[in-house]
Structures are given as structure tokens and as C-alpha cells.
């Protein structure tokens, strides 16, 4: 632990929640505590739209805590700061010690101040001028540049202490997980579904995952790949339950009894029904998919309507208006890209039709599906369901 560092987590959208704000703040604070469990002993509390993370022992892993806090939804920025007495002299001495390495590398600097404690006798401009003047004398080779400095020294006058820090890193933003309801996300091994899951978790949705396997057409490596994607998401979402559902018999029955052009659509309809059954059993209120309009034949507007025909839960599609390049960039940002592109196929690629229907009619697909004992196939598939808990 260096210089009695503290983490300052700034809240974003949470501050706009009016009478419900306290519930959002409580959930966010609880999520931070849960995420830092195992990284040391911290005192964590909220004041003036900021969560304070104060280490209470030398064994605290501040680097890991800093990274983890940047991945908590609801936090818009994370700063490593040092508290000191609320005097100009103490602030200057703290800045000289804590930011000495940064000053050694900078050619110019400025001071930005924020006075959250309105009882402090100087306003923000006066604090910046006083602290900046003393630092300019202490580091004469570093010029003052208030427009485009190499280094910005941030000073915050708060309830208990003044805090000195360099620029904060961006946080995950969004809303605290758990405040947006509970949903089931259909997780494949591709690029799209991990990104769509992340995007809904960022809106405060608590997730469970459903993954369909089709041995021997899909391998254990493909299943392991999906569990690794889930593990990568836990850095943002917390621990996840993954429902592994066998799907081989359903796909083989579709191939034997249904027109080839409808293979993928009927397969997707089964996935939706099974996921809805799991969702209702788990108390979830929606399904999440990684579909993007027009990306493949089963994702035309007509095909999407046919896919969700027959289920009652809403289907959330956060990627619906995104193109593949945007989705790839998002996967790279959240850390799932390298795993998603591993060459292990999932069941969505099994028995792919040569000429899939792109403008299907629901009545035609229902008629084709009538050759199957839908309820029996779903019940048998769910009998083979397994759970895997994935932790960070």
C-alpha cells in the first residue's frame, strides 16, 4: 500500500434516480464490497455521490482493487487518491510526495479543484491558484499550462479530508447489477452473445446463461470455450450460473422431419421455448440474444418474428442496430474477443441449411414444426440440463 492511498469511485446515472437513489446507491456499494472480497480488508462507504474505498491493512492489493472497481457497473470513474488535512500546506506537501514521479515526467501542469465541503474558506479557483503557485515553486522546471497540460493535479475538498490525485480512469458506467431485473441470456461461443450479455448487465440486469450443446457434433472444447466466456464476463457481472442443455436429439429430429430451409428457424424456436421455461423457473423476466438485424438469414425482421412466435417473455436484443465491426470493437473492449474467435463450433452451426428462408411466414414454419412432438422433445432436453457456477 502506497502513501495511504484511497480509491474514489464517482457515481454516474445513479445520481439521477430521485427518490429511488438510495436503493441504487446501496446496491452499488454492496456490489463493490462483493467485488473486492478476497483482495484485502477495506472500509467502503458512500458520501456526496462518491464511494470511498479505504484500505485498513498493508495486505490490501490496491492494484487489483483499482482494476476491479473500474469494472463495476454504476461507477463512471475511479481515482487513486491520497487523503490529507484540509489546508493548502498539507495539500501541497501531499501532491509533492504522491505525484513526484508524474512531475518528473511532465513539462507542464495545472491544478483543478473541487470544493464539496462548502464550509472550506476558499473557493475552487482560489484553491487551484494557491496550490498551483506553491507547486510551481517546488517544481520550477515544470511550466504552468491551464489549457493543455501534461499533468493535471486534482484536489478535492471533501467532508473529512482533502484528496489529491492524478486523472481518474473511466469506469464501466451504467447501472448497478441487480437493479434492472433478472434475465436469461442465450450464450453461444461467438462474438455476439457475450457482448449482448455485457450490454444488458450494464443496464443493471442480473444474468443467468443458457448454452446448448450437441455432442458428438460439438466438442468439449466448444463447451469449455463458452464457460471461459462466462468467466470473462464475471469480471463485470459477478458470478454466473450457466445452464448447459443437451440439444442433439432436437436437431436430429428437425433434420429428419422438417424442410431444410426452416432448419435454423425451428432450432431457434426450440431454443427460445427451452430458455423461457428455464427463465420462468428461475424467476427471470426476459430473454437476451445477440441477434443483429440482417446479419444472417435467421435475423431478418420476418425471421426474428417467427423465432419468438409462441413465447410470452420479452426478448431483449441490445445489438439489433449494430454492425459486425462495432460488435468486434466492443468484444475487444470487454475482453471476450480472443476467446470468441477460437475455432470451436457451437450447435448453431450444426445442420446449417444451404438455402435458408429469409422471409418466412409463421404459419408455414408452424406447419413444418407440426411433424415434431415439441413438448416431449423439450421435456427430454430439460431432463439432461446441468448447472455450472462460474466465478471471477
Asked whether the predicted pLDDT for residue 165 surpasses 80, the reply is: yes
**Cell numbers representing residue 372 in the block:** 415434431
First-to-last C-alpha distance (Å) of the chain: 23
Q: Does the pLDDT value for residue 19 go beyond 70?
A: yes
pLDDT tens, residue by residue, 230-260: 999 999 999 999 999 999 999 999 999 999 9
DSSP 167: P
- In whole angstroms, what is the distance from residue 168 CA to residue 2 CA? 17
pLDDT at 16: 87
| pLDDT value at 149 more than 60 | yes
Average pLDDT for residues 140-164, to the nearest whole number? 95
- Do strands 151-157 and 108-115 pair parallel, antiparallel, or not at all (unpaired)? parallel
pLDDT digits (tens, 9 = 90+) for 20-57: 999 999 999 999 999 999 899 999 999 888 999 999 98
Give pLDDT, residue 1: 42
Given a contact cutoff of 8 angstroms between Cβ atoms, the answer to whether 293 and 305 are in contact is no
125 has a pLDDT exceeding 60: yes
> What was the pLDDT predicted at 3?
59
Secondary structure E strands in the chain: 6-11, 42-47, 50-55, 75-84, 108-115, 143-144, 151-157, 162-165, 169-170, 182-186, 206-213, 240-246, 286-288, 315-316, 386-390
Could you read off the pLDDT of 337-352 as tens digits, one per residue?
999 999 887 887 778 8
- pLDDT interval class at 197 (50, 70, 90): very high
* pLDDT confidence of residue 2: 52
Q: What is the mean pLDDT of residues 222-230?
A: 96
Is pLDDT of 310 > 90? no
Three-class DSSP category at 353 = coil
3-class DSSP assignment, residue 255: helix
Q: Quick one: pLDDT at residue 349? A: 78
At 344 the pLDDT is: 82
Mean pLDDT of the chain: 94
In order of their start, the domains of the chain are 6-170 (3.30.2130.30), 182-390 (3.40.50.620)
Amino acid at each position: 500500500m502506497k502513501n495511504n492511498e484511497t480509491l474514489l469511485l464517482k457515481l454516474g446515472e445513479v445520481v439521477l434516480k430521485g427518490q429511488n437513489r438510495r436503493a441504487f446507491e446501496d446496491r452499488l456499494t454492496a456490489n463493490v464490497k462483493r467485488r473486492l472480497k478476497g483482495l484485502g480488508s477495506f472500509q467502503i462507504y458512500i458520501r456526496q455521490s462518491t464511494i470511498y474505498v479505504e484500505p485498513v491493512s498493508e495486505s490490501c492489493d490496491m492494484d487489483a482493487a483499482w482494476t476491479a472497481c473500474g469494472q463495476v457497473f454504476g461507477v463512471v470513474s475511479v481515482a487513486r487518491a491520497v487523503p490529507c488535512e484540509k489546508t493548502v500546506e498539507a495539500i501541497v506537501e501531499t501532491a509533492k510526495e504522491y505525484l513526484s514521479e508524474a512531475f518528473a515526467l511532465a513539462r507542464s501542469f495545472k491544478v483543478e479543484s473541487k470544493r464539496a465541503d462548502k464550509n472550506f474558506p476558499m473557493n475552487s479557483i482560489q484553491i487551484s491558484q494557491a496550490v498551483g503557485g506553491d507547486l510551481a515553486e517546488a517544481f520550477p522546471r515544470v511550466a504552468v499550462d491551464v489549457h493543455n497540460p501534461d499533468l493535471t493535479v486534482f484536489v478535492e475538498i471533501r467532508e473529512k479530508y482533502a484528496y489529491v490525485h492524478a486523472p481518474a480512469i473511466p469506469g464501466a458506467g451504467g447501472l448497478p447489477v441487480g437493479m434492472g431485473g433478472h434475465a436469461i441470456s442465450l450464450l453461444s461461443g461467438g462474438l455476439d452473445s457475450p457482448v449482448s450479455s455485457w450490454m444488458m448487465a450494464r443496464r443493471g440486469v442480473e444474468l443467468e446463461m443458457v448454452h446448448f450443446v450437441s455432442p458428438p457434433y460439438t466438442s468439449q472444447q466448444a463447451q469449455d470455450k463458452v464457460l471461459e466466456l462466462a468467466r470473462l464476463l464475471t469480471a463485470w457481472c459477478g458470478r454466473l450460473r450457466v445452464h448447459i442443455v443437451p440439444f442433439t436429439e432436437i436437431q436430429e429430429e428437425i433434420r429428419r422431419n422438417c424442410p431444410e430451409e426452416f432448419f435454423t428457424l425451428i432450432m431457434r424456436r426450440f431454443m427460445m421455448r427451452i430458455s423461457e421455461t428455464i427463465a420462468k423457473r428461475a424467476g427471470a423476466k426476459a430473454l437476451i440474444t445477440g441477434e443483429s438485424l440482417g446479419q444472417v438469414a435467421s435475423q431478418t425482421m420476418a425471421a426474428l418474428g417467427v423465432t419468438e412466435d409462441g413465447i410470452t417473455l420479452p426478448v431483449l436484443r441490445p445489438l439489433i442496430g449494430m454492425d459486425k465491426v462495432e460488435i468486434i470493437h466492443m468484444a475487444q473492449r470487454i475482453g471476450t474477443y480472443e476467446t470468441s474467435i477460437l475455432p470451436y463450433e457451437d450447435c448453431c452451426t450444426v445442420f446449417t441449411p444451404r438455402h435458408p428462408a429469409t422471409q418466412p411466414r409463421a404459419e408455414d414454419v408452424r406447419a413444418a414444426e407440426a411433424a415434431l412432438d415439441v413438448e416431449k422433445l423439450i421435456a427430454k432436453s430439460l431432463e439432461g440440463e446441468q448447472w455450472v457456477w462460474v466465478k471471477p
